[in-house]
Structure 1
Amino acid sequence: MNAPLRRVAISVLVLFTLLIINVNYIQVVRSEKLRNNASNTRVLAEEYDRERGAIVVGGTNVAESVPTGDRLAYLRQYPQGPLYAAVTGYYSLIYSRTGIERAENDLLAGSDSRLFVRRLADLFTGRDPSGGDVVLTLDPAVQQAAMAGLEGVTGAVVALDPSTGAVLGMASTPTYDPTQLSSHDPDAIRAYWDSLEQQSPDPRLNRAIADNYPPGSLFKVIVSAAALEDGYRPDTVIPAPDVLTLPNTSTTLENFNGSICDPSGEQQLIRALTISCNTAFAQLGIDLGEDRIREMSEAFGLDGESFDIPLRVEPSGIGDIESEAALGQTSIGQRDVRMTPLQAAMVAAAVANDGTLMTPYLVDQVRAPDLSVLDQTDPEVFSEPVSEDVAGQLTEMMRSVVDNGSGRAAQIPGVQVAGKTGTAQVREDVPDHNWFIGFAPADDPTIAVAVFVANGGGTGGDVSAPIARQVMQAYLEGQGG
């Protein structure tokens, strides 16, 4: 064989070898990843041939598949679509899936390993295969109250059972109808998708977990926790000047609307939290030091790490602190401090649960098609940021906020409520964000809540606190409280 032919033969052999390696790599190494790719509509089409499991809230299907008699045998529907869209997500022939539809897809689609025996039985009996059900922790009354409270605004509400971490409510506005993304009409699906694309803010974003925001004065609960763990008491007197010049700068920090916290220039810690005194907490944070503030923040979950519930939760954190001046601004929840509404609810829940923060979770149980329980979520401890004694002192201080301070609009007749307001500056000429966190009943908490209203234009006390009251009251009435 002459040299040119030999080179051609070697080249063909090398190319053929690379082709074999690539085919094996795709079929063996990448097969699972490609199968689970959200853009893989071929797999979606196969799944439409079987009945997809239901997503269940309070005994009612909030996502279900119904037979069509068409080429695509089942149609996904969401009977109360906009109410639960932030959690269920959508299951679309064109745009794949999001939310619980994605996080629990294997179980819903019937391909989960826990359904292997069922699939084997289907094979031998000729029974049509079907997926399992996902039962959520959401409380219908809480969800309805949250969405009603957020009507007309951009924001989010998260409610937790502080003793277990179960998510009782997760609402985000504006919202959308996932049923319109799950039809079998591609033109209609694309038309609705295009209408959502043109909306601002995006209705498909779950603001409870998919974005984080400056929390403003909510962060003072964490600074208070650090102080109490360091030996301060609610009645400890701390500096509260009218204006605070930040260390080594000419920058001054004032109180809300230039108000005076106390004519004496100092006040008790509990009073500083009650009226949300900026200068007092900025100086307190500086006195405690960055290490203590960062350590306490991370203990509450602001550690810059994401986690799943099983939906992915964006990280919360306090950012870099390069100076004492930056620490002062951080200590009032500004500068680089960011929280998701879920994280804010976790702060309230930890205080409510005697200082123990439970891991949040959305799925109560998963069931086989015959309704037998395949798996049940067991509550787990996330962290223990403060002692029971400090949690009790924080509760006393947060009760004062609602009884005597900026959180009065969260009061519920006959029920003691603990809470904290937050009004966070965004940038010049943009309305502030408005927050409230709280729990009730304060002496035996069964619900902890966080309310976030983006660019609400008021204060946490007058915009978010009334929504929190509605949500807590709806749950307590449902529990006979």
Structure 2
Amino acid sequence: MTRHIRFAAVLCVLLLVALLVNATRLQVFQAADYEDNPANRRQTIARYGQPRGNILVGGRPITGSKDTGEQLRYERTYLDGPLYAPVTGFASQVYGTSLLEDTEDGVLSGADPMLAPFPLLGDLTRARNAGGDVVTTLHEGAQRAAYEGLGGRTGAVAAVEPSSGRILALVSTPSYNPEALSGNGPSVERSWVGLNEDPDKPMLNRAARQTYPPGSTFKVVTAAAALDAGVVTDVDEATDSPDPYRLPGSSTSLTNEAEGCADASLRAAFMWSCNTVFAKLGVRVGVGDLAATAQAFGFNGTGMRIPYAVAPSTFDTSVDAAQLALSAIGQYNTRATPLQMAMVAAAVANGGQVREPYLVERTTRRDGATLDTAGPRPVRQAMHPATAVRLRELMEDVVREGTGTNAAIPGATVGGKTGTAQHGIGNSGTPYAWFVSWAQGERDVEPKVAVAVVVEDADADRGEISGGGDAAPIARAVMEAVLGG
């Protein structure tokens, strides 16, 4: 009898060991495979079983969560959804996440193990913690001023703080309400199809993910290259530039919208945006130095994230002399996002230094305890400090008495540059109206904001002045909002 009891005990121990081994195999070694299996809905149910953390602007949530009482219980809601869509993106139960909702999903959904009071224990238990919050760098007044300024027109605005790289506004129009994609009902699919088939592309983030020919706003870069290279040593000296200017090696002549560009000084050419002067300067500077300056500003970079990816702005380095002349005035293959051109204006305002832009100030737990902060941003010297001082003067002239007077703010120092970018086959498209600028308040020790505005469907028949007529008032409103606090 005793022998049978021992035999049964050993068998029970072996069965227990086998059970433990199998449980370990399933719960440890194969857990990820089961979690990722499309047939396993537990993770999805858990993901939407609690409210999502919020995205904050100026300390105020611009997102929320709605209890539907369904199996996928909580759906995402948005306050002023179209206003902030280029920042938040969407969080959909069907179509996933985009933009900040995507890059910060671990914190917002509660999946980030750092949200646990004891992170190592959280890894072992695989428990889902309450979603954390994402605090943005946005200035609510600047964001709203940019959105309202664009109105019903197609375009984008980007604004940054020159000294830090903090993004103060990021607007793209036409926009959409991300809440239309939040749930999982039939209306969500209809909204998705409608938004993707809309020829106006409301889900396109034009401020950070669409590149345009920058037109004459690129002359800021060309002027910086010419001054740094010593091609121009006196901004008031005649440049020996003909009007019209025949592009090297071709029979094509470049003309100007403005009068008095023949042999104009750099100061006058910048103030009235003389194409002929800057095209010839670009050729004199050479592709190597002009490309190097453009790259120092951020062109041809491929890794910019804010934290979501930004489309690279480009300056073609494989050009002949005629193409280089056009590139120097922001045409040919030169392409830039509004965010990149805001960085160009910010570098002028910041003594020639470029700060990498960023959109997230910090992430926090639900109780407000900080998880992570942006920290100091890398600095890149785009031009000599003395060159930046000269360019500040030139940009101030544009606003004081040149093509950018519509950007002037009483009591503040404002610098700017207008632009009209040709595009389409044979330049047949309606030109894009551009304006880049920076502003410093009367009591500020340094410029507080740099802005870039592009309007795609502006009334741009008047060449360079259209940038001042269509885009400059929008930039002024954004700058006023920031300077006003």
- What TM-score, normalized to structure 2? 0.86
The structural deviation recorded for 1:113 is 3.1
Structure 2: distance between partners of 1:75 and 1:225: 50
The structural deviation recorded for 1:307 is 1.4
The structural deviation recorded for 1:309 is 0.6
Greater CA drift, 148-157 or 195-204: 195-204
Structure 1: distance between partners of 2:204 and 2:118: 36
Give the 3 Å change call, closer, same or farther, for CA 241–124 of structure 1 in structure 2: closer
Query: Which residue matches 1:410?
Result: 407
Give the 3 Å change call, closer, same or farther, for CA 48–282 of structure 1 in structure 2: same
Please give the secondary structure, in 1, of the residue aligned with 2:264: strand
* 1:465-476 equivalence runs, <5 A: 465-476=472-483
* 1:80-159 equivalence runs, <5 A: 80-117=80-117, 129-159=129-159
Greater CA drift, 433-442 or 229-238: 229-238
Query: Which residue matches 2:9?
Result: none
* 1:256-271 equivalence runs, <5 A: 256=257, 259-262=258-261, 265-271=262-268
Query: Which residue matches 2:11?
Result: none
Please give the secondary structure, in 2, of the residue aligned with 1:313: coil
Query: Which residue matches 2:191?
Result: 192
Greater CA drift, 132-141 or 239-248: 239-248
Give the 3 Å change call, closer, same or farther, for CA 343–239 of structure 1 in structure 2: same
Amino acid at match of 2:423: V
Structure 2: distance between partners of 1:170 and 1:36: 38
Amino acid at match of 1:454: E
Query: Which residue matches 2:334?
Result: 337
Structure 1: distance between partners of 2:46 and 2:278: 58
Q: Is the 8 A contact 2:115 2:129 kept in 1?
A: no
The structural deviation recorded for 1:321 is 3.5
Q: In the TM superposition, what whole-angstrom CA distance separates every residue of 1:182-202 from its partner, at most 9, and x where no partner exists?
A: 134x20111222221332211
Structure 2: distance between partners of 1:354 and 1:110: 42
The structural deviation recorded for 1:219 is 0.8
Give the 3 Å change call, closer, same or farther, for CA 198–384 of structure 1 in structure 2: same
Q: Is the 8 A contact 1:243 1:279 kept in 2?
A: yes
Q: How many residues align?
A: 445
Rg larger in 1 or in 2? 2
The structural deviation recorded for 1:29 is 12
Amino acid at match of 1:470: A
Counterpart check, 1:429 vs 2:428: yes
Counterpart check, 1:322 vs 2:324: no
Q: Is the 8 A contact 1:430 1:455 kept in 2?
A: no
Query: Which residue matches 2:250?
Result: 249
Query: Which residue matches 1:46?
Result: 46
Counterpart check, 1:445 vs 2:442: no
Greater CA drift, 426-435 or 351-360: 426-435
Greater CA drift, 138-147 or 62-71: 62-71
The structural deviation recorded for 1:36 is 13
Counterpart check, 1:360 vs 2:357: yes
Q: In the TM superposition, what whole-angstrom CA distance separates every residue of 1:102-132 from its partner, at most 9, and x where no partner exists?
A: 011111111213224367788999x983111
Give the 3 Å change call, closer, same or farther, for CA 434–105 of structure 1 in structure 2: same
Structure 1: distance between partners of 2:30 and 2:287: 46
Query: Which residue matches 2:287?
Result: 290
Give the 3 Å change call, closer, same or farther, for CA 62–121 of structure 1 in structure 2: farther
* 1:172-211 equivalence runs, <5 A: 172-184=172-184, 186-211=185-210
Amino acid at match of 2:450: A
The structural deviation recorded for 1:472 is 0.5
Q: Share of identical aligned residues, percent?
A: 41
Give the 3 Å change call, closer, same or farther, for CA 124–388 of structure 1 in structure 2: closer
Structure 2: distance between partners of 1:176 and 1:413: 35
Query: Which residue matches 1:460?
Result: 467
The structural deviation recorded for 1:401 is 0.8
Query: Which residue matches 2:234?
Result: 233
Please give the secondary structure, in 1, of the residue aligned with 2:216: helix
Query: Which residue matches 1:216?
Result: 215
Structure 1: distance between partners of 2:41 and 2:392: 51
Structure 1: runs of 5+ lacking an equivalent: 1-23
Q: Is the 8 A contact 1:44 1:96 kept in 2?
A: no
- What TM-score, normalized to structure 1? 0.87
Amino acid at match of 1:277: C
Query: Which residue matches 2:13?
Result: none
Give the 3 Å change call, closer, same or farther, for CA 104–76 of structure 1 in structure 2: same
Q: Is the 8 A contact 1:223 1:331 kept in 2?
A: yes
Greater CA drift, 385-394 or 294-303: 385-394
Structure 1: distance between partners of 2:69 and 2:120: 25
Query: Which residue matches 2:308?
Result: 311
Structure 2: distance between partners of 1:93 and 1:201: 25
Q: In the TM superposition, what whole-angstrom CA distance separates every residue of 1:428-449 from its partner, at most 9, and x where no partner exists?
A: 3310011110000187300000
Structure 1: distance between partners of 2:310 and 2:422: 23
Structure 2: runs of 5+ lacking an equivalent: 1-24, 461-465
Greater CA drift, 73-82 or 166-175: 73-82
Structure 1: distance between partners of 2:387 and 2:44: 52
Q: Is the 8 A contact 1:41 1:93 kept in 2?
A: no
Amino acid at match of 1:212: T
